[in-house]
Chains A and B, each alone.
Chain A
């Protein structure tokens, strides 16, 4: 049962990420804004899911499934390689820093908001 919830949530999360990527497509030509946007907002969302202490079923669908699939490490990694190749070291470094600082800060903020930090 948990597996079905994870699968449904993950399908929706992947589609949502794809739609964000389509919407930001023009901007993403120079800098991977779409991946940055989903990773930072998704880190905030997962912080909320953890901090709110949702029941296991809801956590599987929303946390493991939707948010887990909405955010992506593999596209981050490939974006980073491409950015380093095409745009150089400085945009690549900025991309890493923005994802890491943004993701950690967003997750920590959500945990703090829910009294879990």
Chain B
């Protein structure tokens, strides 16, 4: 169980690091890379939550590996907070506010979309 979490976390952290290296954001600019990571990871976690509970309940490592490990290691709260604080410190308060609000709206919406979409596809006749 711990090994699945560790392996997923390592892969998630690497994916985030790879994207941050490929799409660096200059100081003072809107941190698109972290936002995309956090929103896409929230969507995947919504999908994984339904699959682990409804589709493959017997696969006990699915959630620890993909959900807790990969999605948890891929997305990050601390970087989002640090980016917001540093933008505000460096006199980019409107960008900091827009970034914070965008993440708080888009990530939960993406998680909900992942949940509903996956549930609907697993049970096409029964609504969500």
Contact = CB atoms under 8 A, between A and B. Distances in A.
B89 interface: yes
B119 interface: no
Nearest to A14: B9
Say which size band chain A's interface belongs to. Answer: 35 or more
Nearest to A67: B78
Interface residues of B, number: 50
Which residue, of A14, A68, A117, has the highest number of chain B Cβ atoms within 10 A?
A14
Given A10-B10, A74-B38, A100-B100, A69 B72 contact: yes
B89 A117 contact: yes
A14 B72 contact: yes
Interface of B: 2, 5-14, 16-18, 20, 38, 41-42, 44-46, 49, 64, 68-69, 71-82, 84-86, 89, 100, 103-104, 107-108, 110-112, 115
